[in-house]
Chain A
């Protein structure tokens, strides 16, 4: 009998039933909810006269649309306030735990799940946000769902799902100096495109992946959705178990030992087969940056913006449209491009390691004149840790502004918007037209590359500053 993949091992354990010629009824262990995609689901539930089926398996936070300054004051923007109030009311009525504004566990949903030890190997995890794929870094099946599906999970703890095809992306070897996990994922995206994994569940493997810390692994799984993947995942190992061990909701005592036995079975068997496989070499990866308006439009920092002739994608018309929006020319270098804003945050890169990496790099340096730098921690716990380690002081001296936790300029829903026409180098995950504000121009990069642009005021090869 052929072996099983990591995905299949978890999938099979969660199928309640298979509908003839249709999808499977798929059981969800953990459901995260937030203020933006849950109100309509609760309305639906109330209309049907239902209660949340398993409130203990549901965790709520307020992140997408909260202000990132003066969080202790009432929310000024009326619609945001209404969404947050609706969440408070819905959670209270249905007995769902809420880590809302003011709670020491509040933060971006994909940052707090792992940080609290709620995200565990072998679990099925969903949330009404596409970057739920982040949790796959722990060897979980984790994916984003729409609001009707949020309602389904609230009502029944199940979803109807068809089994996706399986892809493995292997990255072998050692990363060069100045290259970090964000560069790996931007590099993969530039090679396979923004639709290269559509319909697939992707497992990331290889020595370059296993050598990463848990937080760096999350950055990779986070952006698997940008390849179109249903979810991204990495087999759990000792680093994973170590990361979870003493966290708030980690299993304790015998439960820990029992879980560990199960978790250690979670890997793809050597004879398991994938529908598609890619191989990359870590040594080929440079610090990456995007020049266009989808995350697949990335290049090495020393490279020139491609021309219509040089891209093999079918998306040639897209190139012109993107460059017109970005105000860039074909066949010109991206290094040296002036920037106006630096955003270090989002569920891709707002964890304590990201902040430490940036602080380590900028210590003793100052931001360039005319550049506005926002650092938005992923959670209250990240913020508290940064303050404890004195990272806030480093930022202050560099002229960076440390804000309060939330999604912020990742999606420009609250007041943290980039003005039209301005350039923002951002550690978030999407550079779509208008994502950070109408007309805003986003360049995606790693925290190190973003920090080096903050110091010089232009797109810079971080390696030149490291030496």
Chain B
């Protein structure tokens, strides 16, 4: 099955300088009625993005609507993705075209959901995050999965490392997913069930 591989993302970014962005803001519950994973991108941050839920009236002050911000990287305030476990949040972020989300803290379930869909959550220090938000000129971020680093533009001094477990890193670099891995363990799982019963 698998996902698109992810190794280096060099791209512009969309900064949303708000803390505690919960999954109800990322994708409101009224859009969860689909039975497929595609098409959620157009409802990403729906209620912050449009006036009166009207696609013809984008809110000019919301970064996703501002032409100077674009790219494959979303940058958001601390505790991103809290709230409901809906994976639709990760799908809508991916469907919109983001491959990386940068924040100084992520809610647990969101982090897992993102990784399971080939979206990389990059957790940076609060200071580094603020540095990104301070960039007034259009600039790029460079995320290197292999080296586990994130850089602001070409400014060498603004580089930070991030954590990712070795297993997830291998998955991202190769485009595998967890189901592929687990399916290969069927026999071990069956043995475990028999042992556990005693």
Instruction: Check B185–A16 contact: CB distance below 8 A.
Output: yes
A43-B36, A438-B30 provided; 17 other pairs, C-beta below 8 A? A17-B185, A21-B166, A22-B167, A25-B185, A27-B193, A36-B33, A39-B35, A43-B35, A44-B179, A130-B85, A148-B179, A152-B178, A157-B189, A160-B167, A195-B79, A198-B107, A228-B82
Which of these, A65, A144, A438, contacts B85 with CB under 8 Å?
A144
Known: A16-B188, A148-B117, A433-B24. A21 touches B32 (CB 8 A): no
Which of chain B's residues have a CB closer than 8 A to the CB of A287? none
Which of chain B's residues have a CB closer than 8 A to the CB of A228? 79, 82, 107-108
CA distance A380 to B81 in the complex (A): 33
CA distance A223 to B84 in the complex (A): 12
Which of chain A's residues have a CB closer than 8 A to the CB of B147? none
- Top 6 closest pairs, chain A to chain B, by CB: A22-B167, A146-B87, A79-B33, A39-B35, A21-B166, A146-B113
Which of these, B32, B53, B167, B183, contacts A36 with CB under 8 Å?
B32
Query: Cβ of A381 < 8 Å from any Cβ of B?
Result: no
Query: Cβ of B49 < 8 Å from any Cβ of A?
Result: no
CA distance A454 to B145 in the complex (A): 54
Which of chain A's residues have a CB closer than 8 A to the CB of B33? 36, 65, 79-80, 82-83, 413
CA distance A164 to B18 in the complex (A): 27
Which of these, B20, B22, B86, B178, contacts A160 with CB under 8 Å?
B178
Query: Cβ of B138 < 8 Å from any Cβ of A?
Result: no
Instruction: Check B85–A27 contact: CB distance below 8 A.
Output: no
CA distance A433 to B179 in the complex (A): 34
CA distance A13 to B198 in the complex (A): 12
Chain B, range 144-198, C-beta contacts under 8 Å to A: 165-168, 177-179, 181-183, 185-186, 188-189, 192-193, 196
Question: Distance (Å) between the CB of A384 and the closest chain B CB?
Answer: 28
Which of chain A's residues have a CB closer than 8 A to the CB of B116? 146, 148-149
CA distance A411 to B67 in the complex (A): 33
CA distance A17 to B188 in the complex (A): 9
Instruction: Check A158–B167 contact: CB distance below 8 A.
Output: no
CA distance A438 to B29 in the complex (A): 10
Selected A-B contacts with CB under 8 Å, 8 pairs: A40-B37, A82-B33, A86-B35, A148-B113, A198-B79, A198-B105, A317-B18, A413-B30
Which of these, A83, A199, A438, contacts B47 with CB under 8 Å?
A438
Which of chain A's residues have a CB closer than 8 A to the CB of B53? 438
Interface string of B29-55 (1 = CB under 8 A from A): 110111111000000000100000100
By beta carbon, the residue of chain B nearest A436 is B29
Which of these, A147, A156, A318, contacts B182 with CB under 8 Å?
A156
Which of these, A83, A434, A438, contacts B35 with CB under 8 Å?
A83
Query: Cβ of B75 < 8 Å from any Cβ of A?
Result: no
Chain A CB within 10 Å, residue with most, of B33, B116, B167, B193: B33
Which of chain A's residues have a CB closer than 8 A to the CB of B87? 37, 40, 128, 146-148
Query: Cβ of A33 < 8 Å from any Cβ of B?
Result: no
Which of chain A's residues have a CB closer than 8 A to the CB of B193? 27, 157
Instruction: Check A148–B29 contact: CB distance below 8 A.
Output: no
Which of these, A20, A86, A434, contacts B24 with CB under 8 Å?
A434
CA distance A294 to B166 in the complex (A): 34
Instruction: Check A146–B112 contact: CB distance below 8 A.
Output: yes
Which of chain A's residues have a CB closer than 8 A to the CB of B166? 20-22
Instruction: Check B189–A160 contact: CB distance below 8 A.
Output: no
CA distance A25 to B32 in the complex (A): 29
Query: Cβ of A309 < 8 Å from any Cβ of B?
Result: no
Question: Distance (Å) between the CB of B73 and the closest chain A CB?
Answer: 21
Known: A82-B35, A86-B35, A156-B179. A146 touches B90 (CB 8 A): yes
By beta carbon, the residue of chain B nearest A86 is B35
By beta carbon, the residue of chain A nearest B110 is A146
CA distance A360 to B108 in the complex (A): 40
Instruction: Check A158–B82 contact: CB distance below 8 A.
Output: no
Interface string of A127-146 (1 = CB under 8 A from B): 01110000000000000111
CA distance A164 to B108 in the complex (A): 10
Query: Cβ of B4 < 8 Å from any Cβ of A?
Result: no
Instruction: Check B189–A16 contact: CB distance below 8 A.
Output: yes
Chain A, range 375-430, C-beta contacts under 8 Å to B: 411-413, 430
CA distance A156 to B182 in the complex (A): 7
Which of chain A's residues have a CB closer than 8 A to the CB of B113? 146-149
Known: A198-B79, A228-B107. A21 touches B189 (CB 8 A): no
Which of chain A's residues have a CB closer than 8 A to the CB of B24? 430, 432-435
Instruction: Check A40–B36 contact: CB distance below 8 A.
Output: yes
Query: Cβ of B60 < 8 Å from any Cβ of A?
Result: no
Which of chain B's residues have a CB closer than 8 A to the CB of A315? 19-20
CA distance A175 to B193 in the complex (A): 44
Which of chain B's residues have a CB closer than 8 A to the CB of A155? 179, 182-183
